[in-house]
């Protein structure tokens, strides 16, 4: 069901784990499957210098978390807000149609973390 690239990332996802003293944390859940994703950001001078995640969810949710956290490292918070689940899916060379909703979690978790950051400014 998953392509090779997705399987490769699933076997060794990047940026897994809770971050110590993050600048911001975003947490979102998918009501239909009950999966939860948490994203941790370290932000310096408006730039995301580090990102990590904890995902209690399916393979697609783990793989999209890994890819999304890789994609936002080095971006300004404004540019990170522009990352869409479609871009994450493209970077993964596709996801099965029934797994597209899982990739939305990553986009939403990034937005939630950035909202958290802005609320503390």
Give, as ranges, the residues between 17 and 46 that touch ligand FES (CB under 6 A). 30, 33, 35
Catalytic residue among 1, 7, 33, 49: 33
The site string for ligand FES over 44-63 (x = CB under 6 A, - otherwise) reads -------------xx-xx--
Helix or strand holding residue 65 (H, E): helix 59-72
Q: What is the DSSP string of 85-101?
A: HHHHHHHTT---GGGHH
- Phi/psi of residue 73, nearest 5 degrees: -65, 130
Catalytic residue among 102, 104, 110, 113: 102
Contact yes or no for 102/64 (Cβ under 8 A): yes
Q: Name which of 32 and 119 has its Cβ closer to ligand FES.
A: 32
- Contact between 18 and 44 under an 8 Å Cβ cutoff? The reply is no
Q: Which two tokens stand for residue 37?
A: 């994703």
**Nearer of residues 35 and 107 to ligand FES, judged by Cβ:** 35
Residue placing its CB nearer to ligand FES in the complex, 31 or 121: 31
106 in contact with ligand FES (CB under 6 A): no
């Amino acid at each position: 069901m998953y392509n090779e690239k997705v399987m490769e990332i699933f076997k060794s996802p990047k940026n897994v784990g809770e971050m110590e003293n993050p600048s911001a944390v975003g947490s979102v859940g998918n009501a239909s499957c009950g999966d939860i994703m948490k994203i941790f950001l370290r932000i310096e001078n408006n730039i995301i210098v580090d990102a990590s995640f904890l995902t209690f969810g399916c393979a697609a949710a783990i793989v999209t978390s890994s890819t999304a956290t890789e994609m936002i490292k080095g971006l300004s918070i404004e540019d990170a807000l522009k990352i869409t689940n479609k871009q994450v899916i493209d970077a993964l060379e596709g996801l099965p149609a029934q797994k597209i909703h899982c990739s939305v979690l990553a986009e939403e978790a990034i937005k939630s973390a950035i909202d958290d950051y802005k609320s503390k400014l």
